[in-house]
Chains A and B, each alone.
Chain A
Amino acid sequence: MQERKTQKEGTMGSNSSDDFTTVIGPDAVFKGELRFEKGVRHLGAFEGQIETKGHLLIAEGARLVGEVSAGNIDVEGNVKGNLKSSGKVRLTSSAKLEGDLHTSRLEVADGAVFIGRCVVGSNGTAKPVENKPADANANKGPVEVVKK
């Protein structure tokens, strides 16, 4: 348990320092539309639209209301709105996300809260599930009770 935590913090730390060329500070209150080419570290309060090809970090304590489109998105704070990621969305244990999520990959830490529509898959567009199984195991007996 502890091991896993340290590992996660390690990964977080390693990509957090150099990735972010823009920082929205903790005392910033901002409304509007932001467009970036690279990473953004958001520590304040923002309402509006953020668009970046890079990495967006919504830090613990930060608030965001609106629409986000980014490469990778890490949520540690509070988000009310829709997230669209071409890469990976990571919700840490302090994250609260209320809104829709479209992403290729999703990582949810224990303790995170997420309420909203969720589409995860290749490019955030899940393929529809077919109605019939396409395998030969169909007559194997469907349910097996696991013996304890």
Chain B
Amino acid sequence: MVKSNRADKGKERDVACTHCGEPVRVATRAMSIFCPHCKQRLILEDYRIRAYQASRLFATCGDIVVEESGFVSAPIRVANLTVRGRIQGDIDARGVVSVSATGRIRGDVRASRLKVAAGATLDGFFRIAPDAVSLTS
């Protein structure tokens, strides 16, 4: 689930800058870079959250899994997001947001796709559309 499809796809991959939304080609093994467009630092790693995590912004070009014991209180920008725990904050996902039966989201969600298991709790303004979701604006 957590494994991204990029892992074995050669030495480079394309991501979208989590700050300006511009496409950036990065080395597969890189953990962070500076965006050539907006010069801001881009995190490229995947994260697994098992406890309370609060921040001003939680942004990565990788994937995030919030485990059942996890609670994120922050706006999130991410490629794919799996929610088994709780999130309080707005979510901007390039790909899929998957909410399992134990997952709870309170915040606005933008994503290309949404998967919701029975038992999940959602509350917010949602914008689900298959065309690429802009990370800016």
Interface residues, chain A, with chain B CB atoms under 8 Å away: 101, 105-108, 110-122, 126-129, 131-133, 135, 137-146, 148
Contact = CB atoms under 8 A, between A and B. Distances in A.
22 contacts: A110-B113, A112-B130, A114-B126, A115-B127, A116-B126, A118-B109, A118-B123, A119-B122, A119-B123, A120-B116, A120-B121, A132-B52, A133-B51, A133-B69, A137-B69, A138-B52, A142-B53, A142-B70, A144-B50, A146-B48, A148-B29, A148-B46
Interface residues of B, number: 42
A137 B45 contact: no
Contacts of A128: 106
A116 B113 contact: no
Question: Nearest 8 CB-CB pairs, A to B?
Answer: A126-B123, A121-B121, A146-B46, A120-B122, A118-B126, A142-B53, A133-B52, A114-B128
Given A108-B113, A121-B121, A140 B129 contact: no
B8 to A, nearest CB: 10
Interface in B88-134: 88, 104, 106, 109, 113-116, 118, 120-130
A112 B122 contact: no
Interface in B4-43: 4, 7, 29
The interface residues of chain A, by DSSP majority, are classed as mixed
Contact of B122 (A118, A141, A148): A118
A142 B128 contact: no
B32 to A, nearest CB: 11
Given A105-B116, A115-B126, A126-B121, A142 B52 contact: yes
Contacts of B69: 133, 135, 137
A111 B63 CA distance: 21
Contact of A140 (B50, B73, B127): B50
Nearest to B46: A146
Given A115-B126, A133-B69, A142-B70, 14 more contacts: A108-B114, A112-B128, A116-B125, A118-B122, A119-B122, A129-B86, A133-B51, A133-B86, A137-B50, A137-B51, A143-B47, A145-B45, A145-B48, A146-B47
B51 A142 contact: yes
Contacts of B116: 105-108, 120
Contacts of B63: 146
A127 B126 CA distance: 17
Given A108-B116, A146-B2, A148-B7, A113 B129 contact: yes
A121 B125 CA distance: 15
Contacts of B56: none
A107 B115 CA distance: 7
